[in-house]
């Protein structure tokens, strides 16, 4: 199997002198700084020669002290090997520019747009650098740069003033100070077509019209705007706009202590807060180099699997109320079942949704007395219920008509668009972080990666339900094996984390969740980049919706089981 | 038959008019919460040392240290205790984990609707589940005063000593400090606290010996 050092030597021999710095952290992690003029060629080489077919995301970092910016490309493979290559390319802070990978990897589009609007790094050759998460008035302020002073910038005493625009809207405007006018440094507002203008430019004939779905949805919990261009019942094109609940969590975490950061990971997606906790704490543990005691590992696995069960239950239940054809109300039953799982988790963590439970080097609480027996009872119940659900869906003709062969994704397309989690596995690609990047006690546990065959909506629901059964199996094993012992490491976790960086991945209920954490040796993170699963899934929605009927839009979008709050973190 | 039913219907409002409780609680029995539940905070005011660690770690800065009377003046010199703003608190429990005296806990009470501001911004008197009574408090305050006086006396004695033996003054002062630290816990043989009144075993220099010898008999008399 290919290891990180193989990958490094392959790049070095193909492009002599292109690797400026490199570090092989383990067999699975390669850190390399690539000459920024060669980054596209190196990525091409990796994809063609070394089976790096999964462009997982990109992160921008502002190194203000070194007066340069960095773009880190995260490249992995869909199961051919398990190496994650973190390829950095540097650019000076004045006029930062990097070559775009969007023509090579379709899904690089959104990641680069995000880096552009947050850091102001220009991507040469990008098909459309438009703001995605930020409001129009913040574009050009580059809020995630380290020298961003806040909006409006209170340090200069400036305040935004409201003023009407020519077309009757209200805009916020920061008047330049007299000193700025004199020096000629008045910030220039960038000009680009707005979301509305861009979608209206696509209307080709009078028969077509634009239909708005959202921002307040019946489809998914959380606001995002999905506009579809329809002719009659057919969708010709779909457009997606995010940013209605942009919380700037990555920036907030840079201004909070390491420990306080855990509470913010909870709130990215409250249905999956335990896996988010795990991802952040895991990354910090990696920088620290601490080993989590075995009991704590098992506790974390048990709770994360319980949280997967409850997330799948609520996701499926909610979705099935939308396609409405089902002659029974799975929502009611699933929410009752979920309640049992939630109270199991609550009995350990003390909270129902926002757990703040995982700690650096361990866990907050031990399992309470009698937990194993109660948990086994609940799992038995969930198992029988889930089997019932699978049977019920199989019998329902309306369910079949609405779900089968709707929104089918082939394995190739699914890989190319960079989707992850149940939608990817439903297409038949066995790609699961618990196997690809095993953490905690997962290597010792026996479980299968659930896959589907057709990749349609019915398959996606089916994969989720069968994953519940698999999680039940995992938890039962954990309960049998859990050793006794401490739940926190002996070594005291310092307030200041030593300088370093780590990329850590966990399998979120919705797919691949990765966090790239950088420490500069201070008491706060220097940068936390969240590579969330639903951001990637949302990006694939517009192409997936092209050519379907209006009625199927809800079925397809809903079957992705998403949380726009996490995409919009 | 119908008439009787109608009459019954009419009697219903008359019947419920006499009952005071109109809105019923539902579900009638509250859900049983686990022991680990992170509900409203509970403060053991007899143990809190006023270190403000909880206030510093809170991500939402909802804890403010405010003065409060019924704590332990021997441990908490400034008598500052946490006040929690539940308008901001997200029940993350970091403050509880950080407390070195383990006196801040989170209880099972989770309902907190209120009419007044002080039911949302809860001061120490609201969150304290354990505190000293007026009588105990007076005794403790007297004790604290006495110890303070004692220390002042010890300081004076040390100063005299230093004056007698010039040159050794600096060293004697330092030793004296150490000795005082050791004797302070001895004063805690107060009503509720269980700290043992053992005098310090380590001795440091002649001046320290003297200071101890001066302080100890008095403490023994008080306990
Ligand atoms: S529970 Fe969290 S938010 Fe509430 S007071 Fe404690 S630290 Fe602050
Ligand atoms: S409650 Fe605990 S952490 Fe807060 S001031 Fe008192 S002793 Fe310190």
pLDDT in tens, A503-550: 999 988 888 889 999 988 888 899 899 988 888 888 888 888 888 888
The C-alpha of A189 sits at a distance from chain B's nearest C-alpha, in angstroms, of: 34
**Residues A259-289 pLDDT 10s:** 888 999 888 888 888 999 999 999 999 898 8
- Ligand 1 atom with minimal separation from the B98 CA: 7
pLDDT of residue A154: 58
Q: Is the pLDDT of residue B176 over 50?
A: no
- Residue B62 CA to ligand 1 centre (angstroms): 7
DSSP assignment letter at B32: P
Domain boundary among B132, B154, B178: B132
**Same domain as B69, residue B41:** yes
**Same domain as B149, residue B94:** no
Q: Is the pLDDT of residue A163 over 80?
A: no
Q: What DSSP line would sit under A190-253, residue for residue? A: P----HHHHHHTT--STTEEEEEE-SS-SSSSS--EEEEEEETTEEEEEEEE--TT---HHHHH
DSSP assignment letter at A370: T
**Same domain as B156, residue B123:** no
Distance between CA atoms of residues A44 and A53, nearest Å: 10
**Same domain as B128, residue B141:** no
SS3 of B212, please?
Answer: helix
Average of per-residue pLDDT across A63-77: 88
Percent of chain A with pLDDT over 90: 8
The CATH number of domain A4-138 is 3.30.460.80: yes
Q: Which of A257, A260, A351 sits opposite B91 (nearest CB)?
A: A351
Q: Is residue B48 included in any domain, yes or no?
A: yes
Average of per-residue pLDDT across A351-356: 87
Pocket residue to mutate for ligand 1, from B91, B96, B105, B120, most atoms within 8 A of Cβ: B91
Q: Which pTM does this prediction carry?
A: 0.81
Distance between CA atoms of residues A390 and A448, nearest Å: 18
8 A C-beta contact, residue A383 and residue A471: no
Q: Is residue B21 included in any domain, yes or no?
A: no
SS3 of A363, please?
Answer: strand
Q: Is residue B174 included in any domain, yes or no?
A: no
pLDDT of residue B25: 76
Q: Is residue B221 included in any domain, yes or no?
A: no
Nearest to A429 by CA among A443, A405, A446, A413: A413
**Same domain as B142, residue B56:** no
User: What contacts B185, CB < 8 A, 6 or more positions away?
Assistant: B195, B196, B197, B198
pLDDT of residue A174: 66
**Same domain as B127, residue B42:** yes
- Residue B125 CA to ligand 1 centre (angstroms): 18
Contact: B59, A350; criterion CB under 8 Å: no
The C-alpha of B62 sits at a distance from chain A's nearest C-alpha, in angstroms, of: 13
Distance between CA atoms of residues B71 and B47, nearest Å: 8
Q: Is the pLDDT of residue B200 over 50?
A: no
Distance between CA atoms of residues A412 and A79, nearest Å: 13
Q: A199: pLDDT confidence band, cut at 50, 70 and 90?
A: confident
Distance between CA atoms of residues A306 and A357, nearest Å: 14
pLDDT of residue B111: 82
Q: Is the pLDDT of residue B223 over 70?
A: no
Q: Is the pLDDT of residue B207 over 60?
A: no
The C-alpha of A316 sits at a distance from chain B's nearest C-alpha, in angstroms, of: 26
CA distances from A225 to A151, A243, A420, A483 (A): 24, 9, 22, 48
- Residue A523 CA to ligand 1 centre (angstroms): 19
User: What contacts A384, CB < 8 A, 6 or more positions away?
Assistant: none
Average of per-residue pLDDT across A217-226: 75
pLDDT of residue A381: 92
Percent of chain A with pLDDT over 70: 93
Helix A330-349 vs helix A294-323: crossing angle, to nearest 10: 160
Q: What CATH number does residue B91 fall under?
A: 3.30.70.3270
- Residue B132 CA to ligand 2 centre (angstroms): 17
Contact: B93, A364; criterion CB under 8 Å: yes
Nearest to A107 by CA among A425, A460, A531: A531
Q: B10: pLDDT confidence band, cut at 50, 70 and 90?
A: confident
Q: Which of A346, A354, A368 sits opposite B90 (nearest CB)?
A: A354
- Tell me whether strands A122-124 and A97-99 are parallel, antiparallel or unpaired: parallel
pLDDT of residue A176: 67
User: What contacts A87, CB < 8 A, 6 or more positions away?
Assistant: A32, A33, A34, A39, A42, A43, A72, A73, A75
Pocket residue to mutate for ligand 1, from B62, B65, B87, B96, most atoms within 8 A of Cβ: B62
Lowest mean pLDDT among A209-223, A541-555, B36-50: A209-223
**Same domain as B108, residue B151:** no
The C-alpha of A142 sits at a distance from chain B's nearest C-alpha, in angstroms, of: 25
What ligand has the least distance to the C-alpha of A356? 1
Domain ranges of chain A: 4-138, 249-567
Q: Is the pLDDT of residue A66 over 50?
A: yes
8 A C-beta contact, residue B76 and residue B51: no
Distance between CA atoms of residues A444 and A433, nearest Å: 15
Taking phi over 0 as left and psi of -120 to 50 as alpha, with beta for the rest, A184 belongs to left
Helix A550-559 vs helix A533-545: crossing angle, to nearest 10: 160
Tell me how many residue pairs between chain A and chain B have CB atoms under 8 A apart: 47
Residue B120 belongs to what domain range? 37-132
- Residue B101 CA to ligand 2 centre (angstroms): 7
Average of per-residue pLDDT across A208-215: 83
pLDDT of residue B186: 40
If one compares A187 and A69, the residue with the highest pLDDT of the two is A69
CB atoms < 10 A from the CB of A495, how many? 10
Q: What DSSP line would sit under B124-187, residue for residue? A: HHHHEEE---HHHHHHHHHHHHHHHHHHHHHHHHHHHHHHHSTTSHHHHHHHHHHHHHHHGGGG
Task: Indicate which residue's Cα is closest to atom 3 of ligand 1.
Answer: B89
**Same domain as B156, residue B145:** yes
Average of per-residue pLDDT across A213-225: 75
**Same domain as B126, residue B50:** yes
User: What contacts A1, CB < 8 A, 6 or more positions away?
Assistant: A81, A82
Q: Report residues whose beta carbon is within 6 angstroms of any ligand 1 atom.
A: B 58, 60, 62-63, 84, 89-95
Query: CB-based burial of residue A311 (10 Å sphere; 0-12 exposed, 13-18 middle, 19+ buried)?
Result: buried
Domain boundary among B132, B157, B190: B132
Dihedral over alpha carbons A72, A77, A82, A83 (to 10 degrees) = -30
Lowest mean pLDDT among A337-351, B57-71, B180-194: B180-194
Query: Is the minimum CB–CB distance between B59 and chain A shorter than 8 Å?
Result: yes
CB atoms < 10 A from the CB of A343, how many? 16
If one compares B51 and B214, the residue with the highest pLDDT of the two is B51
Give the neighbor-by-neighbor strand order of the sheet with A500-508: A500-508, A511-519, A527-531
8 A C-beta contact, residue A414 and residue A456: no
* Residue B103, ligand 2, Cβ within 6 A: yes
Average of per-residue pLDDT across A286-300: 89
Q: Is residue B160 included in any domain, yes or no?
A: yes
Query: CB-based burial of residue B139 (10 Å sphere; 0-12 exposed, 13-18 middle, 19+ buried)?
Result: middle
Q: Is the pLDDT of residue A345 over 70?
A: yes
The CATH number of domain A249-567 is 1.10.645.10: yes
Chain centre to alpha carbon of residue A469:
24
Q: Name residue A362's beta-bridge partners.
A: A359, A488
Average pLDDT in chain A: 84
Q: Is residue B152 included in any domain, yes or no?
A: yes
Distance between CA atoms of residues A116 and A329, nearest Å: 45
ipTM of the complex: 0.77
Strands (E), A242-373: 358-359, 362-363
Contacts for A12-20: CB closer than 8 Å, 24+ residues apart: A14/A42, A14/A45, A14/A49, A15/A41, A15/A42, A15/A45, A18/A42
Q: B205: pLDDT confidence band, cut at 50, 70 and 90?
A: very low
Q: Is residue B32 included in any domain, yes or no?
A: no
**Same domain as B156, residue B114:** no
Q: Is residue B220 included in any domain, yes or no?
A: no
Contact: B106, A350; criterion CB under 8 Å: yes
Q: B216: pLDDT confidence band, cut at 50, 70 and 90?
A: very low
Q: A190: pLDDT confidence band, cut at 50, 70 and 90?
A: low
8 A C-beta contact, residue A134 and residue A243: yes
Q: Is the pLDDT of residue A314 over 80?
A: yes
Lowest mean pLDDT among A276-285, A520-529, B39-48, B213-222: B213-222
**Same domain as B155, residue B121:** no
Contact: B106, A346; criterion CB under 8 Å: no
**Residues A476-509 pLDDT 10s:** 988 998 888 888 888 888 888 888 889 999 988 8
- Ligand 2 atom with minimal separation from the B98 CA: 3
Q: Is the pLDDT of residue B36 over 70?
A: yes
If one compares B187 and A170, the residue with the highest pLDDT of the two is A170
8 A C-beta contact, residue B25 and residue B70: no
Query: Is the minimum CB–CB distance between B89 and chain A shorter than 8 Å?
Result: no
8 A C-beta contact, residue A60 and residue A69: yes
**Same domain as B127, residue B43:** yes
Q: Which of B36, B59, B90 sits opposite A365 (nearest CB)?
A: B36
Nearest residue in A to B107, CA atom: A350
Pocket residue to mutate for ligand 1, from B53, B81, B83, B92, most atoms within 8 A of Cβ: B92
Q: Kind and range of the H or E element at A536?
A: helix A533-545
Mutation site for B-interface testing, chosen from A252, A350, A368 by largest number of B Cβ within 10 Å: A350
User: What contacts A554, CB < 8 A, 6 or more positions away?
Assistant: A218, A219, A322, A323
| HEC sequence for A82-151 | CCEEEEEEEEECCCCEEECCCCCCCCHHHHHHHHHHHHCCEEECCCCCCCCCCCHHHCCCCCCCCCCCCC
Distance between CA atoms of residues A355 and A342, nearest Å: 11
Q: Kind and range of the H or E element at A55?
A: strand A54-63
**Residues B139-148 pLDDT 10s:** 888 888 888 8
Task: Indicate which residue's Cα is closest to atom 4 of ligand 2.
Answer: B54
Q: Is the pLDDT of residue A186 over 70?
A: no
Tell how many helices (H) and how many strands (E) occur in chain B: 7, 6
CA pseudo-torsion sign A89, A93, A99, A103: positive
Q: How many domains in chain B?
A: 2
Nearest residue in A to B37, CA atom: A350
């Amino acid at each position: 199997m290919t290891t990180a050092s193989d990958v490094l030597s392959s790049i070095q021999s193909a492009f002599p002198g292109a690797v400026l710095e490199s570090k092989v952290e383990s067999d699975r992690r390669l850190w390399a700084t690539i000459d920024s003029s060669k980054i596209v060629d190196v990525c091409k080489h990796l994809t063609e020669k070394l089976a790096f077919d999964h462009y997982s995301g990109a992160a921008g970092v502002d190194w203000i002290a070194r007066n340069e910016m960095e773009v880190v490309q995260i490249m992995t493979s869909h199961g051919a090997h398990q190496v994650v290559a973190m390829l950095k390319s540097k650019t000076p802070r004045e006029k930062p520019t990097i070559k775009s990978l969007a023509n090579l990897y379709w899904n690089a589009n959104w990641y680069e747009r995000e880096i552009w609007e947050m850091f102001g790094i220009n991507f040469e050759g990008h098909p459309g650098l438009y703001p995605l998460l930020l409001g129009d008035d913040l574009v050009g302020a580059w809020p995630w740069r380290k020298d961003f002073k806040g909006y409006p910038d209170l340090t200069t005493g400036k305040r935004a003033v409201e003023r009407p625009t020519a077309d009757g809207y209200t805009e916020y405007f920061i008047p330049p100070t007299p000193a700025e006018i004199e020096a000629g440094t008045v910030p220039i507002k960038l000009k680009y077509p707005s979301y509305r203008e861009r979608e209206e430019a696509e209307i080709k004939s009078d028969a077509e019209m634009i239909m708005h779905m959202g921002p307040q949805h019946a489809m998914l919990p959380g606001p995002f705007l999905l506009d579809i261009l329809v002719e009659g019942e057919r969708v010709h094109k779909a457009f997606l706009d995010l940013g209605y609940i942009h919380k700037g969590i990555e920036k907030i975490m840079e201004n909070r202590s390491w420990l306080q950061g855990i509470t913010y990971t909870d709130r990215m997606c409250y249905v999956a807060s335990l896996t988010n906790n795990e991802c952040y704490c895991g990354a910090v543990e990696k920088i620290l180099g601490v080993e989590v005691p075995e009991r704590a590992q098992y506790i974390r696995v048990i709770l994360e699997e319980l949280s997967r069960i409850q997330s799948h239950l609520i996701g499926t239940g909610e979705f099935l109320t939308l396609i409405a054809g089902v002659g029974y109300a799975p929502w009611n039953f699933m929410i009752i079942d979920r309640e049992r799982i939630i109270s199991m988790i609550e009995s350990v963590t003390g909270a129902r949704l926002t757990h703040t439970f995982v700690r650096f080097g361990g866990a907050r609480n031990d399992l309470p007395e009698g937990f194993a027996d109660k948990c086994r009872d609940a799992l038995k119940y969930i198992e029988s219920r889930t089997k019932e659900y699978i049977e019920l869906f199989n019998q329902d003709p309306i369910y079949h008509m609405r779900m089968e062969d709707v929104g089918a994704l082939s394995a190739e397309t699914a890989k190319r668009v960079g989707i992850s989690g149940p939608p990817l596995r439903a297409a038949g690609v066995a790609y699961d972080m618990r196997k690809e990047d095993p953490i905690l006690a997962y290597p010792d546990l026996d479980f299968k990666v659930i896959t589907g065959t057709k990749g349609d909506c019915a398959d996606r629901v089916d994969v989720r339900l069968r994953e519940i059964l698999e999680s039940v199996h995992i938890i039962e094993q954990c309960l049998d094996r859990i050793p006794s012992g401490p739940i926190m490491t002996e070594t005291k976790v310092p307030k200041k984390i030593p300088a370093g960086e780590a990329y850590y991945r966990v399998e979120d209920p919705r797919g691949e969740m990765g966090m790239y954490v950088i420490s500069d040796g201070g008491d706060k993170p220097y940068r936390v980049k969240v590579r969330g699963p639903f951001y990637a899934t949302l990006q694939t929605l517009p192409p997936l919706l092209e050519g379907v009927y209006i009625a199927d839009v809800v079925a397809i979008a809903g079957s992705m089981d998403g949380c726009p709050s996490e995409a919009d973190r | 038959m119908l008439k009787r039913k109608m009459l019954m219907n009419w009697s219903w409002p008359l019947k419920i008019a006499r009952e005071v409780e109109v809105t019923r609680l539902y579900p009638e029995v509250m859900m049983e919460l686990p022991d680990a539940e992170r509900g409203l905070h509970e403060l053991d005011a007899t143990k809190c040392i006023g270190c403000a660690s909880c206030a510093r770690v809170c991500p939402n800065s909802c804890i403010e240290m405010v003065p409060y009377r019924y704590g332990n003046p021997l441990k908490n010199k400034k008598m500052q205790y946490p006040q929690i703003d539940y308008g901001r608190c997200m029940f993350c429990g970091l403050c509880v984990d950080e407390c070195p005296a383990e006196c801040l806990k989170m209880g099972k009470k989770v309902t907190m609707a209120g009419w007044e501001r002080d039911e949302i911004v809860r001061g120490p008197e609201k969150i304290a589940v354990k505190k000293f009574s007026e009588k105990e408090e007076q005794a403790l305050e007297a004790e604290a005063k006495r110890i303070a006086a004692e220390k002042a006396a010890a300081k004076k004695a040390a100063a005299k000593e230093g004056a007698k033996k010039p040159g050794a003054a600096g060293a004697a002062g330092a030793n004296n400090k150490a000795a005082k630290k050791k004797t302070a816990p001895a004063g805690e043989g107060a009503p509720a606290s269980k700290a043992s009144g053992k005098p310090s075993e380590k001795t440091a220099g002649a001046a320290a010996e003297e200071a101890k010898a001066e302080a100890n008999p008095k403490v023994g008399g008080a306990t």
